[in-house]
Structures are given as structure tokens and as C-alpha cells.
Chains A and B, each alone.
Chain A
Amino acid sequence: MKKPVIQFENFSFQYRSQTAPTLHEINLTIYEGEKVLIVGPSGSGKSTLGHCLNGLVPFSYKGEVSGSLKISGEDVKDLDIFSLSKKVGTVLQDPDGQFIGLTVAEDIAFALENDGAPQTHMFDKVAEVSKMVEMNEYLDSSLHQLSGGQKQRVSLAGVMVDDVEILLFDEPLANLDPATGKYAIELIDRIQNETNKTVVIIEHRLEDVLHCHVDRIIVVDDGRIIADMTPDELLASPVLEQCSIREPLYVKAAKYAGCELTPEMQPAHIESFQVDRCKAQLVDWFRKVDSPQPKAKTEAILELKDITFGYKPGRTTIQGVSFSIEKGEMVSIVGKNGAGKSTLSKLICGFEKPNAGQIYYRGQDISGDTIKERAARIGMVMQNPNQMISKQMIYDEVALGLVIRGVPDAEIKERVLKTLKICGLYPFRNWPISALSFGQKKRVTIASILVLEPEVLILDEPTAGQDFRHYTEIMEFLVELGRQGVIIIMITHDMHLMLEYTPRAIVIAGGEKIADDTAVNVLADSTIIEAANLKETSLFDLAQRAGIGEPKQFVDRFIAYDREVRQKWQ
């Protein structure tokens, strides 16, 4: 008989500032050594659920708790946050608060220092754990020199030093490039196998987490648990679709083709998925759907010529990058963590000045223009929402740019409310930003730029932490803008997003442009995938396994079909 380690019984929680509970009547048991994934729409209460486990609720976030929560048999009411921290190790969602120490070694040792461990013991333990996460060569590096993926490993090591029973990850993949994300999932899996800890992962990127084995998936919607089953069962059921969580693409394709999925077909992983039974349907569907129409060429609007830039003299971050973007085009910029994607966007907006090269807008050299002058046409949503938010209230934040431009009040109101609806924030319009979930905050920053109606829109990781429905709504709106001639540049680690919405992809590696092609071609080229830490889509695999000779065509058609289906949501 397995030993339960986490037991929620009729558990509810209401933040003090809220009028309604955020978690309702949660009943959930997680057993020792299990690996559980929690999914759900943005703002559904996943992080809150995590906070209940590690004690931040109610020690740091005040509110009303009812029902009971037991962790390894002890009621959390009788525990303080320190004893809880010995049982539950947490990797938090917000990237800003993750690291405390100055260097990698100190950050890993932080919990040991607090225990008063002798120095020699700390050295041994840090050496051991850092080897486990393959960071032993970086012990003296300071944390802000690390790439996103390395940071993730350090935070993992930081909770590993304490012999906790439960590891809790709140969106461990956000901001990681696809290959590093895959690595992170494998790392978590390996550590769990070696130590037999209980692992709880909260994540939007379902398909990526399912890369390794998961025992159970729990679906949270609006503060309630609406499903609790094995991955195979869940993927065969309609639950994910109902609460608009993105299914793995191969599952979606199979469903579109009209296959009846059953748990016995083992749809949890593409490798185990028994394609044979729906081969015929897939081939048939492939023949029926139309392939998308290629777009006609129009005039080039934004042009970069030989841009070179370095933050410090002697080290170039961007090297001789050139490209031009046409009216109404949607383009992805993809590449490894630290490749220079965000830097490129800063150069376009004038946040940084290139050391060499020019930027043209409608044929005019804008290299000398100030940020403000460029901002009249180019809008940018930065990667980290905390760096953009400057007002207390959601409405004021979104209205800010319009107020500065002296737009009449009535018009401001109309435009702001319209944008809030697009971004799914309308119900929260009178809230302070501090009461939002991470994904909701990100949407506020998107809204605050959309409302300005720029001619060029740059979005740095727009879908990080977003659920499928909001993501689709925002993206469809962007597509509409694209039809009106707006240029949309998306920096992203999300290969689905790239395939679906941006016909063209620019790949950056080590500060250089290594490819500029259709998204499908980029993902079909294994050298590019390798060089830029990308990941090929499971649709290729599916097509191949179903014996469809033209996997690229299959992907193209799937995407066109899928988009059409989703447009009906609105």
C-alpha cells in the first residue's frame, strides 16, 4: 500500500483581498514517489495550490483556509514554515526572486548555511549536488551571467541540498529554449528516479512535460479539480479540450482525423502512441484538407542591415544581422537561451545603439531616431513583465501610453476596454496589478502595447505562462492586425506558436542569423535544430509513422485546419 504524502481534504482558500475563494473544496491525495503534473488555465489557482503546499499560504499570503491539508501525515496547521520547508522544496514561478546568493555555490548552499552546517560539510554537499545538475564548473560564476537554462539548474540544485521529500516546480520550463526545456524535464526525471522523491510540476507546456513519464495529471479550472487521471486516460478524454488546454499536437491531429482515442492506445508519448489503428483515417484526412495559400509579396517596411552590437567592448552579442520584413508579415525570431534575441529587439526599438549597421523604416534610415520617435511606430512587449509595469491599477497601466499622447478621455476608455477584452482581462479591470497571477500580469503588458496600435509590434515571449484560450485570442487578434498591414515580430521558444502563426522564422545562434526560411523548413532541418536548440514537432513523427510521405505538407495542412477550427471559438 502506497503511503500518502499530500492529502487535501475539502480544502478551500480565499485571499484576504478577494470576495470569492480562489480554491474550492479541493480533494486530492498524492502518494510517496509519485510524479504529478498540474495543468489549468492561467489564473485558475495552480500557483496558489502550490503555495498551500510550501506554506506561503497562509504564512505569507494571508487569507481564509478551510478544510484540511496533511503533509506526510502531519496537519499543516500544526507546522511552521520552517518545518514545512524541510519537507517541501520549491522552485518558484517568478524568475526575479529565485536566486539569493551572489554566486552559484552560495545559492546552492543557502539552505545549508541557514541550518548552520559546518563549512566542510557544505563544500562536500555543494560539490555533490552541483555535479548532479551538471553545474560543477560554474560554482564561482555570478548568477546574472548564466543563461536561462543554467539558472534553472541552479534553482533545482538549491532545493536538492535539503533532503526534502517533495519537490514542487512552478512552471520550470517558462523561458527555457526547447532543447533546454527537454533537458530540464529529463533532469527532473533522473533526479526523481535516483532519489525517489515525490514531484509536483505545474506547467502549461503539457507536451513538453510528457516527454518523460508522469504518473498522474491533475486539471484545475477556476479553483476546482476537474480531472485527476493518468496521462493516457486524460489524453483520450475530452477534458483538455473543454477547459481549453493545449493537447499534444499529434493527439490533436489524430482527433481531427476522426480517430477514437482510447487509453489503451497510449497517447501519452508519441513513441508509445499506437498510430496503426488510425493510420487510414490520418492518410484520408491528409488528402482531404486543403493546403494553405502562399502569400503574395508586398513592400518591405522594416529593414536591418549588417547590425553589430556588443554590451561590452570586445565581446559582440549581435554580429552582422540583416533581414527585411514586409508589410503585414508575421515573423518569429527563435534560438537558444542567450543567443541575442531580446538584444535584437532592443536594437530595433532604440533601447541600445548598434555599433555598426543601419535600420530602415519604409526606406528611411532611423538609426539616429530616439526611443520616443521610434515608439510612435514600433511597440514592444518586453520579456519580463515586471520591467514594464508602472501603475498600480490595470486600467491605468493600459491607458498610460494613450494618456501621454493626449488622446481624449472618452476614446481612451473605449480603446482600453476593447483591448482588455481581447486579452481576457476585462473582469479584472478595476483590480490592482498586484493581485494578478503571473500570466495575467504578462497579458497586462501585452494589452498596454496593443492599445497603442503600433505599425510594428515586437513581442518577447508573448505566450510564456499563457493558457491556450487566451493565447489563441491574442494571436487571432494579431493575425487580424497583420491583415491590416501591421508587422508582427515574435520572439519565442514555443515551436507550436512559430509553426502556427508565423509563416517565416529567423533563427539566431551565437548572435548571428543562421537561417531565414519558412517555419516548417526550419523545423525540418536537423542542423538548424541542433545549432539553435530547437525541437522538431511531434507532427513530423506522426506523419512519418502514419506513412505519409510528405511530413512538411502534413504540418502545413494541420496548422491551417487547426486555425480554422479555433477561429470558431470566438
Chain B
Amino acid sequence: MAVEMLSYIERHSPVHRLTGVTKLICFMIWSSIAMLTYDTRVLTFLFLVSIGVFIISKVKLREVAFVLLFILFFLMINNLAIYVFSPQEGVRIYGTSHVLVDIGGGRYSLTLEQLFYQFNVTLKYFTVIPAAILFIVTTNPSEFAASLNRIGVSYRISYAVALALRYIPDIQRDFRNISMSQQARGIDMSRKEKLPKRIKNAASIIIPLILSSLDKIEIISNAMELRGFGKNKKRTWYRARPFQKIDIITIILFVLILIVSLYVTFHDGNRFYNPFS
């Protein structure tokens, strides 16, 4: 059950050198554009840029392949679901209907508009995913907490995020250990059991995990208290990094991309790019 997850990958690359603040801001700009626009030209442009940045970052595809496969699978299901629930969504959006495959003239006839719409939905993910993955694997988690604090999130909440990142591997290990020790006392975890039984069995792991994490909360807050956390209005961060020229340039660049993208998307009063009219 040692499921892989994305985590910081240490490298020397320009992307790694940016401060966490910069990357956070850029990531937010990036996901906002990708959220707002449905303009194929903008999306294609963003997609190409994110591929470019990915290459610069020296992160290898192999290192994140497991997540990519998962996302591809998810996208496939999602596309199918969209088609099943709303096969004429594209027609509704673009206002025309070019039937490619006629299925009894009915609801499920395949149209060019639907294909184009679903292509855009997919492209939208493809623009965000490299950016999101990069953000996660190139940002040192501790520096990330410092960054959150820098952009105005209170240090207490920033630290909560740092704790979450710090403890995910621990809790994952606990989960596994508890599951083992419960099985060792005779609880059957095999998948063949019936649903109610399975729920009961799951409870026998989840409940101890939750109770032990409540204890953990107690112990850790004691330890933090003993070392003076929360004493002052401000705190400093060992891992904080100062802004450099490259950070400022990057941010300006991304803000420009934001403005241009939004202008291109909305200057015709609609977030969709319509090649059919």
C-alpha cells in the first residue's frame, strides 16, 4: 500500500531557485486563467508554456508519471460522464450543430461541437496540471509555509499548513501500522467481505487512527508550547528566502500573461472561442 505521492524533488533549476512566494503567486495566476477562460487559443498557448517550464525545471516525467496516469484515467471517465449526461452541451454552447455520426437523429448523435467542447475541457486540465505538479515538486514545503506568511496569511495558519505537510507521511505510516496490528488480532481485511462488514472493518482502522491523531495533537501542541510557539505577534522562518530580480521579473511576466489572456478571452464578450460561427 506504499502509494506514491507528489513531494518536493530537490534539483538545481531556475524554477527551483524562485522563491515560494513567486511560485505561489504564479500558480494562482495560472489556475485563475485556466479557470476563467475557455478560449482554445489561450489554452493552447498556456499549455505550451507550461510544457516549456516543465522542461526547464529538470523534473523528469518518470518522477511524476504515476500521477499523470491517474489524471489521464480520471479525465477519460470525466469525458465519458460529460458525454453520457450532456451529449449536446457543445451544440448549446456554440449554437451550431455539425453532426458527425448520426445515432438515430437523437440525443447521442456525435457532433463536431461536442468534440470541440470536450477537447477544450481536457485542454483546460492539461494547462493546469503541469503547473500544479511543478508547484508541488519544486517548492520546499518549509519555504512554502514561510511564503504563505509573506503574502499575508497569518503565521499561525501558515504553520498549520507546514504541520500538515510534515505529518502526511507520518500519518500514512501510522495508517499502515494500525491496519497491520488490527489484522494481527484477527480482523479480516480481504476485499471479499460484504459491504456492512467492510465498513465495520474499516472502522477498526479508522477509529484508532483518529484517536491516536487526537493524542498526537495534544502531544505536539505541548511540545510547541514548550518551545515558545505563539509567543510573539511575528515569527521568522529559518527557510525563508529573500526576493531576487528573477522573482520580480517572473511575477511581472505572469501578470502580463494574465492580462493578455483575459483580454483575448473576453474581448468578444464570451469566454468560449467559437470557430464555428
Complex: A in contact with B (CB within 8 Å):
yes
User: A residues engaging B (CB < 8 A)?
Assistant: 54-56, 59-60, 81-82, 85-86, 89-90, 92, 94, 96-98, 100-103, 105-106, 109-119, 122-123, 126, 144, 158-159, 162, 311, 346, 349, 351, 370-372, 374-376, 379-380, 382, 384, 386-390, 392, 400-401, 404-405, 434, 448, 452
Question: Complex: how many Å from CA A110 to CA B208?
Answer: 30
How far is it, in angstroms, between the C-alpha of A111 and the C-alpha of B223 when the chains are bound?
11
* A299–B211 CA distance with the chains assembled, in angstroms: 43
Q: Does B70 contact A (CB under 8 A)?
A: no
* Contact call B208/A372, Cβ cutoff below 8 A: no
Which residues 218-232 in B have Cβ within 8 Å of A in the complex? 218-232
CB distance B177 to A111 under 8 Å? no
Tell me whether B31 is interfacial, beta carbon within 8 Å: no
B175 to chain A, nearest CB (A): 10
- Please tell me which one of the listed residues A96, A113, A126, A379 contacts residue B237 in the complex, with CB atoms under 8 A apart: A113
| A101 to B234 alpha-carbon distance, docked (Å) | 18
The answer on a CB contact under 8 Å between A100 and B225 is: no
Please, which residue of chain B has its CB at the minimum distance from the CB of A390? Answer: B208
Q: A122–B174 Cα gap in the complex (Å)?
A: 33
**Complex: how many Å from CA A532 to CA B2?**
30
Known A-B contacts A114-B231, A144-B170; the reply to A85 vs B181 at CB < 8 A is no
Q: A387 and B177: CB pair below 8 A?
A: yes
Shortest distance from the beta carbon of B200 to any chain A beta carbon, whole Å: 11
Q: Which residues of B come within 8 Å of A, CB atoms?
A: 2, 141-142, 162-163, 165-166, 169-170, 174, 177-178, 180-190, 204, 207-208, 211-212, 215-216, 218-232, 234-240
Name the B residues within 8 Å of A380 (CB-CB).
181, 184
Contact of A119 with B240 in the complex, beta carbons under 8 Å = yes
Question: What residue of chain A has the Cβ atom nearest to residue B207's Cβ?
Answer: A390
In Å, the complex CA distance between A436 and B240 comes to 41
Known: A86-B228, A106-B238, A162-B228. Contact between A371 and B180, CB under 8 A? yes
Q: Which of B190, B215, B221 contacts A386 (CB 8 A)?
A: B215
**Listed residue (B2, B221, B238) with the most chain A CB atoms within 10 angstroms of its CB:** B238
In the bound complex, residues from chain A placing their C-beta under 8 Å from that of B228 are 82, 85-86, 111, 114-115, 162
Please measure, in the bound complex, the distance between the C-alpha atom of A158 and the C-alpha atom of B238, giving whole angstroms.
14
- The answer for the CA separation of A335 and B219 in the assembled complex, in Å, is 29
A349: B residues at CB distance < 8 A: 180, 184
Once A102-B162, A106-B239, A114-B230 are accepted as A-B contacts, the answer to whether A386 and B222 lie under 8 Å apart by CB is no
Whether A375 contacts B223 by the Cβ 8 Å rule is: no
**Cα distance A41–B181 when bound, in Å?**
29
Residues of A within 8 Å of B207, CB to CB, are 390
- Given A85-B228, A96-B216, A389-B212, A116:B183 Cβ within 8 A: no
Q: In whole angstroms, what is the CA distance A448 to B232 when docked?
A: 45
| Contact present for A113 and B182 (CB under 8 Å) | no
- 6 more contacts with CB within 8 A, not counting A100-B163, A404-B185, A404-B187, are A106-B239, A111-B227, A116-B236, A123-B238, A349-B180, A389-B208
Partner of A102 from the list B2, B166, B184, B204 (CB cut-off 8 Å) is B166
Contacting pair A404 B186 (CB below 8 A): yes
Chain A contacts of B234 at CB under 8 A? Answer: 116
A60-B225, A116-B236, A122-B236 known; A390 and B230 CB under 8 Å? no
- Structural contact, B232 and A372, CB atoms closer than 8 A: no
State whether A379 and B184 are in contact (beta carbons under 8 Å apart), knowing that A106-B239, A387-B177 are contacts in the complex. yes
Q: Are A386 and B212 in contact (CB under 8 A)?
A: yes
Minimum distance in angstroms from A405 CB to a CB of chain B: 6
**Across the interface, which residues of B come within 8 angstroms of A111, CB to CB?**
227-228
A105 contact from B212, B231, B238, B240, Cβ within 8 A: B238
> Are A400 and B215 interface neighbours, CB within 8 A?
no
Q: Contacts A101-B142, A114-B235, A386-B215 known; A370 to B183 CB distance under 8 Å?
A: yes
Central interface residue in A112, A386, A400, A405, by most chain B CB within 10 Å? A386
* Docked complex Cα distance between A378 and B183 (Å): 12
26 A-B residue pairs with Cβ-Cβ distance under 8 Å, sorted by A, are A60-B218, A81-B226, A86-B228, A90-B226, A92-B223, A100-B166, A100-B223, A101-B142, A102-B142, A102-B162, A106-B142, A115-B231, A116-B235, A119-B240, A351-B177, A371-B184, A375-B184, A387-B174, A387-B177, A387-B181, A388-B181, A390-B178, A390-B207, A390-B211, A405-B186, A452-B185
Contacts of A158 in B (CB 8 A): 227
Closest to B7 in A: A142
How distant is B148 from chain A, measured CB to nearest CB, in Å? 14
Which residues from B are CB-within-8-Å of A311?
Answer: 2
Please state if B219 and A97 are interface contacts (CB–CB under 8 Å).
yes
Q: Which of chain B's residues have a CB closer than 8 A to the CB of A55?
A: 226
Give bound CA distance, A96 to B167, whole Å. Answer: 11
Tell whether A390 pairs with B225 under 8 Å between CB atoms, given A115-B231, A119-B238, A382-B177. Answer: no
Is the pair A94, B219 in contact by a Cβ cutoff of 8 Å? yes
With both beta carbons as reference points, the residue of chain A lying nearest to B169 in the complex is identified as: A144
CB distance from A232 to the nearest CB of B (A): 34
Which residues of chain A come closer than 8 Å to B174, judged between CB atoms?
A: 387
With both beta carbons as reference points, the residue of chain A lying nearest to B231 in the complex is identified as A82
B183 touches A114 (CB 8 A): no
The answer on a CB contact under 8 Å between A56 and B142 is no
- In the complex, what distance in Å separates the CA atom of A85 from the CA atom of B227? 6
Instruction: Find chain A residues with CB under 8 A from B220 CB.
Output: 97, 100
Chain B residues near A390 (CB, 8 Å)?
A: 178, 181-182, 204, 207-208, 211
A60-B222, A92-B222, A372-B187 known; A110 vs B227 contact (CB < 8 Å): yes
State the CA gap A555–B223 with chains docked (Å). Answer: 43
Within 8 Å by CB of B225, from A81, A117, A346, A405, lies: A81
Q: Could you tell me if A115 and B232 are in contact, using CB atoms closer than 8 angstroms?
A: yes
- A506 → B minimal CB distance (Å): 22
Chain A residues closer than 8 Å to B177, beta-carbon distance = 351, 382, 384, 387
CA separation between A90 and B222, bound complex, in Å? 11
A400:B223 contact, CB within 8 angstroms: no
Q: B21 CB to closest chain A CB, in angstroms?
A: 15
Is the CB–CB distance between B180 and A92 below 8 Å? no
Chain B residue, CB-CB nearest to A140: B10
CB-CB nearest in chain B for A115 = B228
Is the beta-carbon distance between A102 and B165 smaller than 8 angstroms?
yes
Residues of A near B229 (CB, < 8 A) are 110, 114
Cβ of A338 to closest chain B Cβ, rounded Å: 15
Contacts of A112 in B (CB 8 A): 236, 238
* B224: chain A residues within 8 A (beta carbon): 100, 110
Residue of B nearest to A376 (CB): B186
Determine how close the nearest CB of chain A comes to the CB of B155; give it in whole angstroms: 9
Name the CB-closest residue of A to B206. Answer: A390
**Complex CA distance for A112 and B169, rounded to whole angstroms:** 26
- Closest B residue, CB atoms, query A98: B223
Min CB distance A340 to B, Å, is: 17
Q: How far is the CA of A400 from the CA of B178 in the complex (A)?
A: 14
Shortest distance in angstroms between A248's beta carbon and chain B's nearest beta carbon? 32
Q: Complex formed: what's the CA distance from A92 to B225 in Å?
A: 12
Which residues of chain B are near A102, meaning CB under 8 Å? 141-142, 162, 165-166
Assembly CA distance A97 to B30 (angstroms): 38
How many angstroms from the CA of A319 to the CA of B44 in the assembled complex?
Answer: 52
- Residues of B near A123 (CB, < 8 A) are 238
Which B residue's beta carbon lies closest to that of A405?
B186
Residues of A within 8 A of B2 (CB): 311
